[in-house]
Structure 1
Amino acid sequence: MPIEIDSLLTLPDSAVETLLAEFKKFWTLRENFSGRGFTFKRGMLMWGPPGSGKTSAIWQMTQALVTLHRGVVVFIEDPHLATTCVGMLRRIEPDRPMITIMEDLDALVSRYGDHGFLALLDGETQISNVVHVATTNYPEYLDRRFVDRPSRFDTIMRVGMPSADARRVYFHAKEPSLDAETLERWVDRTEDYSIAHLREVIIAIKCFGQSEDAVFNRMDDMRQSKLESDGFGGQRNNVGFLSQARQVRR
């Protein structure tokens, strides 16, 4: 189905670049997997603060799969319904490349339980020729069976907020009219801003004509309110989540 989204940009971010490179290489390795008797599948889990670019990375993966391999993208919520649909699709299209998307996996597991997701990833209902992609803002809420078991999620990557280079590329691409001095000022003032915050900076200043100071003060107030409402002082994502997940489960 047609989905309208902002124009995708490839930003200089080592985590996303690494994931995209691995994703694209995976589809060239079918014989390498089958020759060793391995199911041709891959699992990727992206974690990090809201707005860090996880969803953007998913859209870039889906775009690559559809345009380069004529693949199918399946967004998963109820794992039992998804298992039925994916199984039916695989019987009809046994060789069609596929991505399954599980956004906010911790919330999905809390709602539906973990068995259905575990079975889909690496159990009695698993399929071949697929990449399972999941995201979470709070990886410490996931059971270690998700985060400490390759073949369910083989690559687990933290996606942080856009770096200065990424912010510079974003601003220049979306608002090429910025002079060098203004561009660098915006880059300096948007440290730890999400992509959504960067987007609003451009819209508020360039489309609505609001003053820079007013916009940046509003963005800073929004971010500070979010940190205070979380009650974690912004430190949740600075802790190695594998060790924290084990502590939680004890």
Structure 2
Amino acid sequence: MVNLDDLELNDILSRSGRPAVHVRRRRNDQGEVLSNESSSHYQWTSSDGDKFFPAGRPYNTLPPGLWEPKYCHSRGYFCEKLKCNTNDLLEFPETHCERVVKEIRKFWDREERFRKNNLVYKRGIILWGPPGSGKSSTIKLVLKDVFERNGVAMKFDQPPMFLEVVRIFRKIEPNTPLVVLMEDIDAIIEEWGETDVLNILDGVEVLDKVVYLATTNYPEKLGERIINRPSRFDRRFKMPHPGRKSRRLYFEHLLKTNEYQIDIDKWVKDTEGMSISHLKELFIAVCILEDDYKSVIKTLQTMVEETVSSNEDGNNLGFAQFKNEED
């Protein structure tokens, strides 16, 4: 008699006349076969007390990081962690980057005062400005700070999905600092409508211990109910192109050893009015791809001039009406 426990799957199939299949079985250091199912299950879970399903390792809180709300038909709503590198970041001295970070740090440090005055512990901030003006870098600095406070950030681009997941999140973690990241909020409103976004900001289910951080390249597309209600977005910061000090800081950061023998003073002078993206392209084209500096800088300067000309022709209608409250 053959003991089936001693046979591999292919042995069983061959004895039964069925074709063999290729199966890789996990084994420990002693050569013992490990079960693929049991290796990832740590406990039972049940929603009704009748049906129990094996579940993975339990966590009391989400690890600090940037999370995206998701849904699958077999398991329901869940969070998926996104890559978010918050190392080696720069705070540009002539932008509102540093002010935004300080504003949010001050908010996190004033929880007791909010509670004492029976105020909802939430804050809303909009960053606006042209592409490449440092909005993404500012966001990463804000996220780095909340991660250091054992908080999390949650991506907001599908209001219905976000609402379901954040309800679950707050039931499990009522006291975890939360940053709701609303990048390109104008595009979100265009796709989903203003009402869904307003319901998240100050609807029936108001979130607590939260910072709403929104960005837009086109503030003129935002309605009055979004931009002129402090209870929704309390502060607005224009992110200008980097000034001389900021451009120098960025180039010194890229050219740490100056192995390329670059005249940084000339680079700073020639890049007036350029965005961080332009500065990065200059470095890549000249230092990495070894393109001719004069040709590259001329191309970039032409791009900047064309952008300014386009705005002056009226393609940016209404932009001036959305003023930075620090001006």
- TM-score norm. by structure 2 comes to 0.69
Alpha-carbon distance change, 232 to 35 in structure 1, aligned in 2, over 3 angstroms: farther
Question: What residue in structure 1 maps to residue 200 of structure 2?
Answer: 120
* Aligned residue pair count: 242
One-letter amino acid of the structure 1 residue matched with residue 159 of structure 2: P
Q: Does the CA contact (< 8 Å) of 1:83 and 1:125 recur in 2?
A: no
State the Cα deviation string for residues 110-134 of structure 1 (Å, max 9, x = none).
Answer: 1100111111111212200110000
**Alpha-carbon deviations, 1:58-117, whole Å to 9, x = none?**
111111111x21111111111121111111111111111000011111111011001111
Match of 1:207 in 2: 288
Aligned partners of 2:84, 2:150: CA distance in 1, in Å? 19
Structure 2 residue 142 is matched with structure 1 residue 58:
no
Stretch moving more, 176-185 or 89-98:
176-185
Which residue of structure 1 aligns with residue 154 of structure 2?
74
| Segment of structure 1 superposing worse, 79-88 or 171-180 | 171-180
- What is the distance in 2 between the residues matched to 1:31 and 1:53? 32
Q: Mapping of 1:90-105 within 5 angstroms?
A: 90-105=170-185
1:108 & 1:227 partners in 2: Cα distance?
Answer: 26
Tell me, which stretches of 5 or more residues in structure 2 are unaligned?
A: 1-80
8 A contact 1:227–1:233 mirrored in 2:
no
The answer as to 2:108 corresponding to 1:27 is: yes
Deviation of 1:229 after TM superposition, in Å, equals: 6.0
Q: Distance in 1 between matches of 2:318 and 2:101?
A: 22
The Cα offsets for residues 120-163 of structure 1, whole Å up to 9 and x where unpaired, read as: 11121220011000001111111111111011000111111111
Please name the residue that 1:87 is paired with.
167
Tell whether 2:86 aligns with 1:10.
Answer: no
One-letter amino acid matched to 1:144: E
For 1:202, the aligned partner's letter is: F
CA contact (8 A) 2:273 2:304 kept: no
Looking at structure 1, the residues matched to 318 and 92 of structure 2 have their Cα atoms a distance apart, in angstroms, of 21
Matched, 1:149 2:229: yes
- Report the CA distance shift for 1:128/1:80 in structure 2 as closer, same or farther (over 3 A): same
Instruction: Write out the 4+ residue segments of structure 1 that deviate beyond 6 Å after TM superposition.
Output: none
Aligned match of 1:42: 123
CA deviation after TM superposition for structure 1 residue 237, in Å: 8.4
Identity percentage over the alignment? 33
Q: 1:155 to 1:121 in 2, by over 3 A?
A: same
Q: Which amino acid aligns with 1:57?
A: T
- 3-state DSSP of counterpart to 1:101: strand
* CA distance 1:74–1:233, change in 2 (3 Å): same
Change (3 A) 1:12 1:234: farther
1:234 is displaced (CA, Å) by 8.1
3-state SS, counterpart of residue 146 of structure 1:
helix
Q: How many Å apart are 1:200 and its aligned residue?
A: 1.1
Superposed displacement of residue 222, structure 1: 3.1
The amino acid of 1:198's aligned partner reads L
AA of the residue aligned to 2:279: L
Partners in 1 of 2:157 and 2:311 — Cα distance? 25
The structure with higher relative contact order (CA 8 Å, sep 6+) is 1
Q: Secondary structure at the match of 1:19?
A: helix
Is the Cα contact below 8 Å between 1:161 and 1:192 reproduced in 2? yes
Counterpart-to-counterpart distance in 2, 1:9 and 1:171: 11
For 1:218, the equivalent position in structure 2 comes to: 299
Give the whole-Å Cα distance in 2 for the aligned partners of 1:144 and 1:114.
11
Which has more radius of gyration?
Answer: 2
In the TM superposition, what whole-angstrom CA distance separates every residue of 1:195-239 from its partner, at most 9, and x where no partner exists?
Answer: 111111111111111121011112123334445666747866872
| 1:109 paired to 2:219 | no
CA shift at 1:28, angstroms? Answer: 0.8
Q: State the distance in 1 between where 2:313 and 2:113 align.
A: 45
Q: Secondary structure at the match of 2:181?
A: strand
Conservation of the 8 A alpha-carbon contact between 2:133 and 2:240: yes
